[in-house]
């Protein structure tokens, strides 16, 4: 559609003059910035002030658009939060699968709309709970899930077609995903209704969590 300005040209000209005056006023005021320049983590410089001038020549349809339509800047659903609020999921899981199942049911009964499984260290790094290296760590900082039966207990009486689940798991991610899908199918959940995410960052436990084999 070509360049379609958001704003009237007379307004933009007036704004440009006012902005220049503001910059001069800032200098004359004696207010000093804490440092010479500011930048975000990726190195992009942050300006003193942003105004409609910064987006004056952007194509609204290409850059913003409408909810539920490309480029999805305003959200992936047509009605967004007017239809449903964002998914709320507390990072939770501890002890035995039975403990975590009880906790999940409690959270769901109090309005949680998604689940996020916290795994213990042995599960995170892919060793069995009876491995000598797992001594003292089983079920401590998360739930122990060495078998598909444990995953089944975690979701006992929780229909997996009604919730999406995040699994903060890395090297064993393919195994945990297989457990999850297997249990959901056993519940009779259609594949297109099984939802959630897994991490698959093989360096995360080593770099960020300092746990590895």
pLDDT tens column, 20-59: 999 999 999 988 899 999 999 999 999 999 999 998 888 8
Q: Which tens digits make up the pLDDT trace of 98-116?
A: 999 999 999 999 999 999 9
Judged against a pLDDT cut of 60, whether residue 3 lies above it is answered with no
Closest-CA residue to 79 (of 70, 69, 64, 89): 69
Statement: residue 165 has pLDDT above 90: yes
pLDDT, residue 213, reads 66
Q: Confidence class of residue 4 from pLDDT cuts 50, 70 and 90?
A: low
pLDDT at 5 over 70: no
In this predicted structure, the answer to whether residue 211 has a pLDDT above a threshold of 80 is no
Residue 208 CA to residue 213 CA, distance in Å, equals 14
| Residue 113 CB partners (closer than 8 Å, separation 6+) | 85, 87, 88, 89, 163
**How many whole angstroms separate alpha carbon 211 and alpha carbon 110?**
33
Q: pLDDT confidence of 208, banded at 50, 70, 90? A: confident
Nearest CA to 148 among 114, 123, 115? Answer: 123
Per DSSP, helices labelled H in 4-93 are 9-29, 60-63, 80-83
| DSSP assignment of 143-172 | B---SHHHHHHHTTT--TTS-EEEE--STT
Query: Tell me, what's the pLDDT at 190?
Result: 98
Domains in the chain: boundaries: 9-83, 91-209
Judged against a pLDDT cut of 80, whether residue 75 lies above it is answered with yes
pLDDT digits (tens, 9 = 90+) for 24-35: 999 999 888 999
For residues 169-177, average pLDDT: 92
Specify whether the CB–CB gap between 74 and 65 falls below 8 A: yes
**Averaged pLDDT, 148-160:** 98
Q: What is the pLDDT of residue 163?
A: 95
* Statement: residue 123 has pLDDT above 70: yes
pLDDT at residue number 203: 84
Average pLDDT over all residues of the chain: 92
What is the β-pairing status of strands 38-39 and 45-46? antiparallel
């Amino acid at each position: 559609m070509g360049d379609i300005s958001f704003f009237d040209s007379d307004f933009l000209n007036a704004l440009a003059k006012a902005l220049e005056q503001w910059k001069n006023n800032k200098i004359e005021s004696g207010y000093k910035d804490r440092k010479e320049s500011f930048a975000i983590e990726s190195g992009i410089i942050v300006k003193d002030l942003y105004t409609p001038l910064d987006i004056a020549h952007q194509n609204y349809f290409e850059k913003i658009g409408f909810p539920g339509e490309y480029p999805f800047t305003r959200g992936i659903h047509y009605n967004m939060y007017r239809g449903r609020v964002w998914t709320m999921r507390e990072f939770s899981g501890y002890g035995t699968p039975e403990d975590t199942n009880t906790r999940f049911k409690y959270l769901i009964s109090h309005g949680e709309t998604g689940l996020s499984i916290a795994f213990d260290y042995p599960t995170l790094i892919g060793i069995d709970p009876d491995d000598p290296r797992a001594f003292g760590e089983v079920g401590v900082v998360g739930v122990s899930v060495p078998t598909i039966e444990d995953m089944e207990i975690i979701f006992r009486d929780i229909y997996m077609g009604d919730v999406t689940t995040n699994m903060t798991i890395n090297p064993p991610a393919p195994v945990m995903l297989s457990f999850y899908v297997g249990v959901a199918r056993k519940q009779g959940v259609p594949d297109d209704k099984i939802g959630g995410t897994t991490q698959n960052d093989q360096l995360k436990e080593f770099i960020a969590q300092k746990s590895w084999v």
